[in-house]
Every structure is written in structure tokens, then in C-alpha cells.
Amino acid sequence: MISIAKPNIDENEKKAVMEVLESGNLAQGLKVAELEKRFSKLCSTKHAIATSNGTTALHTALYSLGVKPGDEVITTPFTFVSTANCILMCQAKPVFTDIMEDTFNIDPAKIQITKNTKAIIPVDLFGQPYDYNSIKETAKNNILILEDAAQAVGAMLDNKPAGSLGNASCFSLYATKNIISGEGGIITTNDDFVKNKARLFRNHGQGQKYEYLELGYNYRMTDIQAAIGIEQLKKLDSFTEKRIRNATLLSSGLGGIDGLIIPYIKKNCKHVFHQYTIRITDEFRLSRSELIEKLKQNGISSSIFYPIPLHLHLPFRKMGYKKGDFPVAEKISEEVLSLPVHPSVTDEDIKKIVEVIQNV
């Protein structure tokens, strides 16, 4: 079976983990500090703060930006649930905004700022940075941007790295992401205040040892996770190149098929293809579920990210959202299909995927 995601681990990660185990320092320590340093270098930011996962990174970052109960935070309904849950964790109100059909990212033209809008969380979905320039324009000066870069490590916009495209940014190192630590999160920022708040918040609100300044959580990363993350980061360029190469091969094989829309890459973007996501429209010979079945029969996994936009899930319906609110996100969620693109997918695999789809 050609899988949709596969962790890419070799002797280096195993060795690094063994070293941590033998050192006796298993919790947050020197390895976490080193991973943070490497991330701030990668993202050209002053600071990086590691947390236990991408969701705790988002919660920590949003809190540290100063989002308070009752504030409104604008985001996209076409994303993983954490992007919106972190708003609920801050007891703020998620305000969804529809997406663009081509990039699947939040549509700057549809953003409606109110007097209660405190922040916007755009997502670099599937590995393509969001439209920073237009959103910056819309957001004006006093609205903060938290970039959800969970899927976009290594991506670029106008030669600026994902992770530097907001007042703060968050990455996830979850086991299926472009680089991994099993579970893990990273916040990047140039803001000293955000950095200081985040360091308190992830560590019980603790200033000096046993001095508690405010409510905090235990959101720390362990050195075991960080050791894996460091080794993965060393391989980021080769992973990314392979993803881009696979995506390019897929697109040259799948372009021009009736009813199948290949991923759109904006000119000023380096898209790192966390997912390679096509659209199956009515003009295609099979329905999306028939195509999934066909692929499966031929040993090819595929996956739908995301089958139901967030505003149609119970916690958000309860807030008054309903079908019809975000027509583009609703339509796209019925059309998208992600195909294997990760670095372990071979040229042979790509050939097979293309042939199976061409032959329907």
C-alpha cells in the first residue's frame, strides 16, 4: 500500500534519543533549547519557544498575544480543529471567514473587522503560506496575526519563511507533519513580550523556581522529543525537495484531466506540500468516493482533508453557525482529495498513481 503519510526515521534519531536516555535528563533541557535555537534561525525570528504539541503552541501563543475572554478572533473554517479550539481555550469567540477556491486559504476580501476583533489566525494550509500582504493590509495596525504554520515548515512567501509571517507563528511536530518529534510544537516570534509570556505560560506561570506569577500550564516539550526534532530539522531541505519533486511529477501527470483540478501554487510562494490536494469536480468520470475506492483497489491510500468544515461541527453549530454560511469552504470540502506526496513516495509510486487516475 502506498501510504498517505509515513514517519521518516533513521539511525540518527535513534542515536539521539539513546543519548538523551543515557544522559538522565529526560524533561525540558538542553535539547529543547537547541531545537528552539535552530527554529529561530530557520524562521529568521528572534525567538522560538517549544511546547508539548502544536495545539498547546497555538493556545500559548494566542494567550501571549493578549487575547482575552470575549475578544473576537477571525479564522478559517477549512482547517484542523486546533486552529479554532485555541480560540475557545482563551474563552474568545471564533469568527469564521470563507476561503479562496484556488489556495484553500482564508480570503482577505471577506474578512470583516469589528471593534471586538483582536486577532486573525490564518493557516498556511497544506504547506502554502497564506496571503500575508493582503491580510496585513486588512488587519491594520492594532490587530494581531497568529500564523498557523503547523503544515508549512520550510515554506516561503516573498522569500520570507513561514514562521515569520505574523506577530507569532506556530508549528506542529506531530508524527505525520513534514518534520516530526512524535508530538511537539514550536512558537516563533520577534516579540520579547510574547516570548516572555509564552515561557511562563508553558511552565505553570512560574518565574523564579516556585514563584507563580499567573495561571500557567505544563505545556513543556521533553528533551527526548527535541532530540528527534533536531535530527529531523537537519533533513528538512532534503525532505522538502522530495515533496516538491513528487508534487511536480504528480501535477505533470494529472494536469489536463477533465474535472480534476491540480494544486495551485502562487507565484511568490514556496509551497512545501504537506498535502498534495486535488479537486474532483462534477466533470470527472467518477465521484470522489468512487475514485478513492479505485485507488484503494490499486494499493494507493488517499485521504480527505477536511471532509466537514469546522463551522458545521457541533461546538460551532452551537454558536449559531450553519450550513450555507461559508459556501466556498463547504464546496471545497466535498471536492478535495489528498494523494501520497511524502518523501518515501518513489517515482514508481507516482507513476502508478498517475496511471490509475488516468485510466479511469
Ligand X SMILES: *Cc1c(COP(=O)(O)O)cnc(C)c1O
* Footprint on this chain of ligand X (rule: CB under 6 A): 53-55, 79-80, 82-83, 123, 148, 150-151, 172, 174, 185
CA distance 290 to 280: 11
CB of 286 to ligand X, least distance (A): 28
| Residue at 292: amino acid letter | I
CB of 10 to ligand X, least distance (A): 22
CB of 166 to ligand X, least distance (A): 14
Which residue, 55 or 349, has its beta carbon nearer to ligand X? 55
Which residue, 54 or 94, has its beta carbon nearer to ligand X? 54
| Residue at 347: amino acid letter | D
CB of 155 to ligand X, least distance (A): 13
Are the C-beta atoms of 108 and 127 separated by less than 8 Å? no
Closest-CB residue for ligand X? 54
Q: Which three cell numbers stand for residue 131?
A: 496571503
Which residue, 128 or 302, has its beta carbon nearer to ligand X? 128
CA distance 353 to 42: 33
Give the list of residues 6+ apart from residue 126 with CB closer than 8 angstroms, or none.
Answer: 104, 151, 263, 271, 273, 274, 275, 276, 277, 305, 338
Which residue, 123 or 165, has its beta carbon nearer to ligand X? 123
- Comparing C-alpha atoms, which of 101, 105, 76, 125 is closest to residue 281? 101
CA distance 257 to 283: 10
Which residue, 54 or 309, has its beta carbon nearer to ligand X? 54
> Under DSSP, is residue 307 helix (H, G, I), strand (E, B) or coil?
coil
CB of 99 to ligand X, least distance (A): 13
Are the C-beta atoms of 159 and 132 separated by less than 8 Å? no
Are the C-beta atoms of 173 and 151 separated by less than 8 Å? no
Residue bearing cell 533536531 = 230
CB of 146 to ligand X, least distance (A): 11
Give the list of residues 6+ apart from residue 147 with CB closer than 8 angstroms, or none.
Answer: 121, 122, 124, 130, 162, 163, 165, 166, 168, 169, 170
Which residue, 106 or 247, has its beta carbon nearer to ligand X? 106
Which residue, 83 or 164, has its beta carbon nearer to ligand X? 83
CB of 172 to ligand X, least distance (A): 3
Which residue, 150 or 345, has its beta carbon nearer to ligand X? 150
| Residue at 288: amino acid letter | R
What CA dihedral angle connects 150, 134, 338 and 351, to 10 degrees? -110
CB of 305 to ligand X, least distance (A): 8
